[in-house]
Homo-oligomer: A and B are copies of this chain.
Amino acid sequence: MSKPAPLSGFPEFLPAQRVVEQHVVTTLAETFELHGFASVETRAVEPLDQLLRKGDTSKEVYLLRRLQAGFDGGPDDAAKGIGLHFDLTVPFARYVLEHAGKLEFPFRRYQIQKVWRGERPQEGRFREFLQADIDIVGRDELAFHHDIEVTRVMLDALGKLDFLPGFRLQVNNRKLIQGFYLGLGADDVDEVMRLVDKLDKLSPEQVTGLLVDEAGLTTEQAEQCLALATIRAADDSFVDRVRALGVEHPLLDEGLDELAQLLRGTVGLATDTVRIEADLSIARGLDYYTGTVFETRLDGYESLGSICSGGRYDALASDGRTTYPGVGISLGVSRVLVPLVQRGVVTADRSVPSAVLVALADEDSRPDADDVATALRARGIPCEVAPSAAKFGKQIRHADRRGIPYVWFSTTDADGVTHEVKDIRTGNQVPADPATWEPPVEDLRPTIITTKE
């Protein structure tokens, strides 16, 4: 086998890079659990009819087929049609329906898993990538304060990833924009929303033209729509600016009230780098949200698109008798991490967990070295024993190449065994007892190193 080439769209990390990913996943999981979210993992596959339920084939589903079809005369999954999940929302909705009788509602869950899409790979777009989703789902009803809750939880989580560049969490509300368009007298509200959503690709003049030509608005109505979409605010001051446009509708009132509540409930979490703002241009395109919608832009990485998106569904799932409304946000872990890691913005200071390399004077002393390592591990100190009794200089280089900060030396003479530990970064070598020595706590685990661009 010659050297294999990477598969485009399937990123993989080297060990030191993987340390960063582990740090991110652990930080997210710990934060979500602090907020009472239970961990759920769903199988990687779903029936094809579920994956294509909304008629949206833009997700580029990967179909599965067994190489040996017809296997053993048994039923063949290929015939029934299964594919890899392309997000964590469709599987979660299915999980809720399948297990509803055994879940307690409102049900808070987080889910950190790989998803697959057969898209053309490009920056921030992969064929296999890691997502971290939080959702709260109710049975029959779900109070609006949960919209505020998921926002707070995700802001808390993102704020703990201190290597991240600054970011803006942008919120809007479908009721607000749909109520506004209804109040204006638009006939096809969804079409207006779809056209206004093109503002990130087209000029305001072009969108105005489309609104007139394709949605049948007057120029004045179209300009009102654009005026609404330009409103941004870091607090609830957007309400007065919308009111000043003179449009009225009960749904608009409801949307304004919800969005104002959301801003007031989260504004206290804003910092220099973690910003939250009402952005009345956000609509989340074709997704089936019915109230709050979220997008997130990373400072300096705007070309990645939204790294963290979501919103409120009136019916995340339904079995015909019972409807399960939900609200959630999904963080594109790979979308954020792969570019940062590849540009060297973030890495770890060692490629192995070991804080200590236990050096070997000769191969016969390996059992004694194992005893030293066992004593260190009993106190939670990751370590490894040198692979061979090479010259000490070579063993120190072995540690250095891996970023292991300490090398342990045991020497035996007439007076018994002497233990010493060397900090190879400083050269400082001191006597040490395997039963009591501990490194400074910051040396216990690999450290995440950031060079923010």
Within 8 A of B (CB), among A250-275: 265
By size class, the interface of chain A is 35 or more
A67–B43 CB distance below 8 A: no
Residues of B contacting A98 in the complex (Cβ-Cβ under 8 angstroms): 3-6
Chain B residues with CB under 8 Å of A304's CB are none
- Closest residue of chain B to A373 (Cβ to Cβ) is B35
A34 touches B377 (CB 8 A): yes
Closest to A9 in B: B77
A222 to B242, CA, bound (A): 91
A313 within 8 Å of B (CB atoms): no
CB nearest to A445 among chain B residues: B33
Tell me, yes or no, whether A402 is within 8 Å of chain B by CB: yes
A174 to chain B minimum Cβ distance, whole angstroms, is 22
Interface centre among A3, A60, A82, A385 (most CB of B within 10 A): A3
Q: Is A83 an interface residue (CB 8 A)?
A: yes
- Asked if residues A64 and B63 are in contact (CB atoms below 8 Å), the reply is yes
Number of copies: 2
Tell me, yes or no, whether A249 is within 8 Å of chain B by CB.
Answer: no
- What is the CA–CA distance of A12 and B102 in the complex, to the nearest angstrom? 13
Asked if A61 is at the interface (CB within 8 A of a chain B CB), the reply is yes
Interface: A201 (CB within 8 A): no
Separation in Å of the A107 CB from the closest CB of chain B?
8
Do B12 and A43 have beta carbons less than 8 Å apart?
yes
Whether B352 pairs with A35 at a CB distance below 8 angstroms is: no
A63 to chain B, nearest CB (A): 5
- Whether A66 lies near B3 (C-beta < 8 A) is no
A240 in the interface, Cβ–Cβ < 8 Å?
Answer: no
Given A50-B4, A84-B64: A382 touches B33 (CB 8 Å cut-off): yes
Q: Which residue of B lies closest to A322 (CB)?
A: B3
- Within 8 Å of chain B (Cβ to Cβ): is A183? no
Say yes or no for A451: interface residue by CB 8 A criterion: no
Partner of A103, one of B15, B354, B381: B15
Query: C-beta contact mask, A97-123 vs B, less than 8 Å → 1, else 0?
Result: 111101110101100001010101000
Residues of B with C-beta under 8 A to A74: 120
Nearest residue in B to A102 (C-beta to C-beta)?
B14
Interface string of A120-163 (1 = CB under 8 A from B): 10000001100000000010000101100100100000000000
Q: Determine if A437 is an interface residue (Cβ-Cβ < 8 Å).
A: no
In the complex, which residues of chain B have a beta carbon less than 8 angstroms from the beta carbon of A42?
A: 12
Chain B residue with the shortest CB-CB distance to A118: B66
Contacts of A436 in B (CB 8 A): none
- Cβ of A237 under 8 Å from chain B: no
Additional A-B contacts beyond A1-B317, A62-B66 (13; CB < 8 A):
A4-B98, A6-B98, A7-B77, A10-B43, A12-B42, A15-B39, A18-B38, A18-B41, A33-B382, A38-B352, A52-B67, A65-B65, A67-B118
Q: Which 9 A-B pairs have the closest CB atoms?
A: A36-B384, A66-B118, A33-B353, A36-B354, A10-B43, A15-B38, A34-B377, A61-B67, A4-B98
Between-chain CB contacts (< 8 Å), 20 pairs = A4-B47, A7-B77, A10-B43, A12-B43, A13-B41, A14-B102, A15-B38, A15-B40, A15-B109, A19-B39, A35-B377, A36-B353, A37-B352, A38-B353, A45-B128, A62-B67, A67-B118, A71-B120, A104-B402, A108-B352
A interface residues, Cβ below 8 angstroms from B: 1-7, 10-15, 18-19, 21-22, 33-45, 47, 50, 52-53, 57, 60-68, 71-72, 74, 77, 82-84, 94-95, 97-100, 102-104, 106, 108-109, 114, 116, 118, 120, 127-128, 138, 143, 145-146, 149, 152, 265, 317-320, 351-354, 366-367, 370, 377, 380-385, 387-388, 398, 401-402
